[in-house]
Amino acid sequence: MEERFAVWGRNPVIEALRAGREIEKIYVAHDSHPPGELLRLAKEKGVKIQRVSRKKVEELAGTKKTQGVVALVSPVPYVAPEELFSETLRRSSFLIVLDHLTDPQNVGNLLRSCEVLGGVGALLPKERSSPVNRTVVKASSGAVFHLKLAKVSNLYRTLRVFRDMGGWIFSVERGGRDIRECEINLPCALIFGSEDRGVSRMLRELSDEVLSIPMRGKVGSLNVSSAGAIAMWEAVRRSI
């Protein structure tokens, strides 16, 4: 872990929280007892605390002088979802929704495709999702620095706001309509599901259409980042 993505020690982590830094997650060693101020601020800011081994904390920090706590600081700032939505509507473009993707390589690849094809940014959940870390930055080839990213507690509730603002919502998932036969209206949100569960039922039901990519090979499925690139291209190819 590069030092600029990690803050360790009780007081430094508390000050990072007080300063409003974008913290992805705080790791606390099982045998450590963090101060109440740290726990209070983390809860107030909506930052998740995860208990792990002391060895894990020290690996993330790159030092043994951690006081049993390390915070992963996001390399990019997040925006309010309304800012992401407004820009998508203004540009008549698209944004991507990452429904609890945990593989940072997939997240980075999807963000790279989004930026290359003219997307505005991404909506991510705060829980059960890969942090935007150095692996994501590298996999995206730096595309994350040109996108608007928003993190929210509830994807369903937030996407309803986007729909009410005039945006279209499409899920990319098996069992839907052939993507070649569908008109993907812009501005829109394209939802890509987790590697093991796909797009959640509630988000599929919220969608204007569920889109599927036809396949002819024996494997029968695509990696989510590959499927995402195809879907994004289908969304914008008529306007490029």
Coil, helix or strand at residue 128: coil
In the block, residue with structure tokens 């959640």: 200
Rg of the chain on CA atoms, in Å = 19
pLDDT digits (tens, 9 = 90+) for 61-75: 888 989 999 998 888
Delimiting residues of CATH 3.40.1280.10 domain(s) in the chain: 81-236
Sheet with 168-178, strands from edge to edge, namely 148-152, 121-125, 94-99, 188-193, 168-178, 209-212
Delimiting residues of CATH 3.30.1330.30 domain(s) in the chain: 3-73
Would residue 223 be called left, alpha or beta, if left means φ above 0 and alpha means ψ between -120 and 50 degrees? beta
pLDDT digits (tens, 9 = 90+) for 16-74: 899 888 888 899 999 999 999 999 999 998 888 999 999 999 998 888 989 999 998 88
Nearest to 94 by CA among 187, 176, 12: 187
DSSP code, position 74:
P
Spatial contact of 157 and 164, defined as CB atoms under 8 Å apart: no
Coil, helix or strand at residue 100: coil
Examine the pLDDT at 239 and tell me if it is beyond 80.
no
CATH number of 3-73: 3.30.1330.30
Task: Please state the CATH superfamily assignment of the domain spanning residues 81-236 in this structure.
Answer: SPOUT methyltransferase, trefoil knot domain (3.40.1280.10)
Q: What is the pTM of this model?
A: 0.80
Coil, helix or strand at residue 122: strand
pLDDT category at 1 given cuts 50, 70, 90 is: very low
